[in-house]
A and B are shown apart, each in its own frame.
Chain A
């Protein structure tokens, strides 16, 4: 199984600031990348998917992908206390005949008022 690396945090940002979350992956052939948000005791919910190099924006969220550097990031603009959660980076891996999502350990984000 290939690796997906994230800084565990916590990443603490003030309300209204930009939160920047980073992720690196080891499988060079991966083509699909995802950011999930997980609140404590809950299952993950999909925030963004990105497949091409560059930026992809959706509301306050921007995902950035650089396949050459094997790096994907998530920017959260105008951070709110409700954004406080663990953010999981996930990379698609084709193995054993199936497309599987491999998750990083997650970065805990704390947005303080």
Chain B
């Protein structure tokens, strides 16, 4: 199956710092990637759709100036949480859709962010 690599797997940082999370599709090109956030015992909430070569599309209620998304190439999307605060602590998961597999999503392994 398709492989999506996500790094880092765990981040602990001080309040006010910025954190960058990388998502790579290892064996396929992903024109579109998706970023989800999951709080404990809650579902995955779509934050934004990342588009190669253009601006990301953010879901309602997601601050685009706080969650910066860059999709620099067909295999790499990054999410930067700027000036992180404790309420940003969450599990962040990226995913990508591979052509010719319909609408199935392949997920990265997730990043657990803890802001002190």
Contacts and interface: CB of A to CB of B under 8 A. Distances in A.
Interface of A: 1, 32, 34, 41-46, 49, 88, 90, 92, 96-106
Given A100-B49, A101-B34, A44 B43 contact: no
A106 B106 CA distance: 18
Contacts of B103: 32, 34, 49, 92, 99, 101
Contacts of B43: 88, 103-106
Given A32-B102, A34-B104, A49-B102, A96 B49 contact: yes
Interface residues of B, number: 27
8 contacts: A1-B60, A41-B112, A96-B57, A97-B57, A98-B32, A98-B49, A101-B103, A105-B43
Interface of chain A: mostly helix, strand, loop or mixed: strand
B40 to A, nearest CB: 10
Contacts, number: 58
Interface string B100-116: 00111111111010000
A34 B102 CA distance: 12
Contacts of B91: 41
Interface of B: 6, 32, 34, 36, 42-46, 49, 57, 59-60, 91, 93, 95, 97, 102-110, 112
A100 B110 contact: no
Contacts of B106: 46
A108 to B, nearest CB: 8
B90 to A, nearest CB: 12
Contacts of A49: 102-104
A103 B57 CA distance: 18
